[in-house]
Structure 1
């Protein structure tokens, strides 16, 4: 009985957390979210920018959709990152927040999520593969220690909740 209760509570939390997080995120103006994303990308990919590894993104728009957070945007690069609402992407990446958190924290491989149909990549396949490989090359050690610690703890908590709930995949 106690195990069933714990399992149900974990399922409920997995279902409610994105809904709760999407409310304040929805209030933040897009221009603020775009500015934060641009600065984060500039910082995390500074080495790749300096090495000229982002030339493939010039005049190419890559969309990111996080349905459970009701968040979507597209990104391009031409000496600096530009983030805008989705209009005309060449490739679109779509996944729920929990799966993206696990990828960012290095706890899940994007290829695994793709084959499990938890990460969807639509559009220009070659561009999608280049973006995926670029993202895998990001050195998370460039993030402040507090942010790395938070990502790690969130990912471990998410994995524990998924295990406790008996969920094999992200609940929506």
Structure 2
């Protein structure tokens, strides 16, 4: 019985937590979210910017959709990152927040998620592959240690919840 209760609680948390996180996120004006995303990308990809490795993004818009957080935007690069509401992307990446957290923390491979249909890439697949490879090249050591620790703990907690939610009670 305790295992069954833990499994049900874990399943419920996996559904409820993103909904709770989405509520305040929806209330933040898009311009504020865009500014944060632009600054984050400028910082995380500063090495690629300095090495002129982002030419492939010029003139192209890449959409990101995180359905469980009700967050969607497009990003492009022309000397700096620009974020806008989704209108005409060349390629769209869609996933839930948990899967994106696992990728960001280095606990899950985006190719695995793609083949499990937990990460969708629609549109210009060549551009999508370039974007995916660029994001995989981000060195997690660029993050402050407190952010790395938080990402790691959140990812480990998520993995534990996922594993616990599928635990089956063994017959006696």
**Could you say whether these structures have the same fold, taking a TM-score greater than 0.5 normalized by the shorter chain as the test?**
yes
Structure 2 partner of 1:136: 136
Aligned length: 167
Matches within 5 A, 1:99-110: 99-110=99-110
2:170 maps to none
Runs of 4+, deviation exceeding 2 Å = none
User: CA offset at residue 144 of structure 1?
Assistant: 1.1
1:16-50 C-alpha deviation (Å, 9 max, x unpaired)? 01100000000111111000000000000000000
Question: Structure 2 length as normaliser, TM-score?
Answer: 0.96
Unmatched 5+ residue regions in structure 2? 168-172
Question: Where do residues 72-87 of structure 1 align in structure 2 (5 Å cutoff)?
Answer: 72-87=72-87
Q: Distance in 2 between matches of 1:140 and 1:64?
A: 20
* TM-score, with length taken from structure 1: 0.96
Q: How does 1:15-164 map to 2 (within 5 A)?
A: 15-164=15-164
Report the Cα offset of residue 145 of structure 1: 1.1
SS of the residue corresponding to residue 25 of structure 1 reads helix
Q: CA RMSD in A?
A: 0.7
SS at match of 1:65: strand
Deviation at 1:62, TM superposition (A): 0.1
